[in-house]
Amino acid sequence: MFSPICKNFDKHIPIQAVYDFNRKVFEEDRALVEAQKPENLPLDPTLEAHVMADRSSIAYRRALRGMGFSQFFTA
């Protein structure tokens, strides 16, 4: 995931503090995601709720459906 980060406030705080905070958040997210072991990836986008950040995942699943995979893709 590419996450551009910018700010126009608290300019007196060193930028490294911002990097360190974001690294902490991303590491917490990574640990949570890597602990999940889903067997089936639903390819029908209506089976889950989505947010804008899911656009690449939806495109990937659409491509799998286009390749002929059924409603679920088993890893």
The Cα–Cα gap between 69 and 75 comes to 12
pLDDT confidence of residue 61? 87
Question: DSSP string spanning the chain?
Answer: -------SS-TTS-HHHHHHHHHHHHHHHHHHHHH---SEEE--GGGS---GGGHHHHHHHHHHHHTT--SEEE-
Write the single-letter amino acid at 34.
E
At 16-52, the pLDDT tens digits run 988 899 899 989 988 888 888 777 788 888 888 888 8
Is the C-alpha dihedral spanning 53, 7, 5, 16 positive or negative?
negative
pTM for the whole structure: 0.49
Domain ranges (residues) in the chain: 15-67
